[in-house]
Amino acid sequence: LCPNLTVLDCHYLASIFGTKAWNTLNNNDSTSILNNTDAGSVSSSLLDSLEKITSHLVNTTFDIKTEFIQLNRTTFTDTFNAEFNSSVVIKIPESYGDNKTITMIVFNSLDNVLPARNEANSSLNSINGRVVLVQSSGQIKNISFTFDILNDTLQKPECVFWNFSLFDGLGGWDGKGCELVLNINETETVTCNCNHLTSFSILMSPNSPKKLYLDIITYIGVGISMGSLVICLIIEGLIWRKIRKNETSYLRHVAIVNIAVSLLIANIWFIIGAAISDAEVKNPPACTAATFFIHFFYLALFFWMLASAMLLLYRTTNVFAGGLSKASMLAIGFFLGYGAPLIIATVTIAATAPDNGYIRENIICWLNWDKSKALLAFVIPALSIVVINLIILVVVLYKIIRRRVGTTAAQAEERHVLVVIAKSLAVLTPFFVAYLITESLITHVTLFLKKGFFILVFGTLLDGKVRRAQL
């Protein structure tokens, strides 16, 4: 260690050797991890030395600023709140005891020296905030950091501290004991809470920046979907009395109405969730509520598609009179359409919300994936229903083709209705497949929301019985 305080600028060896030299040294660290060799990390050792310096400082209050660092030592009793280098705000809400001395060093470019590797040894992240070293003379149970984001093209912030023990002593960034609290506008600041002291920063990953034309496409998709669904419901209301005569047609239109209602309400909650996500002041409880209803009504949409397919299968295979009554099939449809989604959505939020694993950590109002894999509670049921629908569709089409057309008008009408349902499933189901396998979130949203237009066209307008009823 250097004998005086000016040695604090020695961490800027990066300015002497260059960032490329530090990258080479950190790459050697990664090689040591992969090869299980015993090699010390130069950058981690440098940070460890800087932490040890704080324990040898004079016991007085002072504030030293240079071009590269700010060193502050302060004594406080109850709370602490200060801004450093116009890039980091540190808050301590309660000190739990007598006077404490806190020492802080804010480094302007230590992010060029330390590697961005985390517990998974990933090289995809970047250090996107100042590195802050905090030590105290007493125990501090809760400390808050607000970091200015250095690169606004990076997203998905993760609050981390430098764990010297990771990778057998080479060190790396660790998120234990730290949690993300706020991410203002996703491009300005990130606020973290931690329950211990050491060296902190934020990791963020590269993502495509938000583009205006993608937002426009999404809102156009929302508008088309909601307008189409309203028209669909109006048409269904106008012809409702005329479609009640045929049992299969009636049950099919019950499913169409509930599919339209589910998607319309899901679209409304999608807009609410987007507004909550884009707000400057985040509201996690409101985001949780929006996510629950989006999850529930999207699942209801899938399960009503399943109910429609099962009705099709039942009416195709039940060629004899009797069987389930209309009331029984309606009861099964409503239980399947709304009961199953309610159970899945409720169990998901009950299992993940207590550990803050329900919504995404960057306060996007949708199911979490990285922490709790809550998104599987949507993907698995939806994908299963898509597969079941495709199987039912193949079976029904095979039976319709082989079935001999009856000579009575009732038999011909029944066959016509079955063909209409089969055509609807054949057209609509692939859009769900595209939604589930597409990588782009914007494409997900656009395909899903435009489905309202296809429900109107293929579920209602192309039905000859509907057109005749309107005439």
54 versus 72: the higher-pLDDT residue is 72
267-296 burial, b at 16+ Cβ within 10 Å, e below that, comes to bebbebbbebbeeeebeeeebbbbbbbbbb
443 versus 289: the higher-pLDDT residue is 289
pLDDT at residue 367 tops 60: yes
- pLDDT number for residue 132: 92
Mind listing the pLDDT tens digit for each residue in 104-126? 999 887 777 788 877 766 556 88
> Mean pLDDT, to the nearest integer, of 247-254?
79
- pLDDT number for residue 13: 43
- pLDDT number for residue 340: 96
**Mean pLDDT of all residues in the chain?**
75
pLDDT at residue 23 tops 90: no
Mind listing the pLDDT tens digit for each residue in 45-55? 888 888 888 87
| pTM of the predicted structure, to 2 decimals | 0.56
- Name which of 153-167, 186-200, 220-234, 452-466 the model is least confident about: 452-466
433-462 burial, b at 16+ Cβ within 10 Å, e below that, comes to eebeeeeeebeebbbbbbbbbbbbebbbee
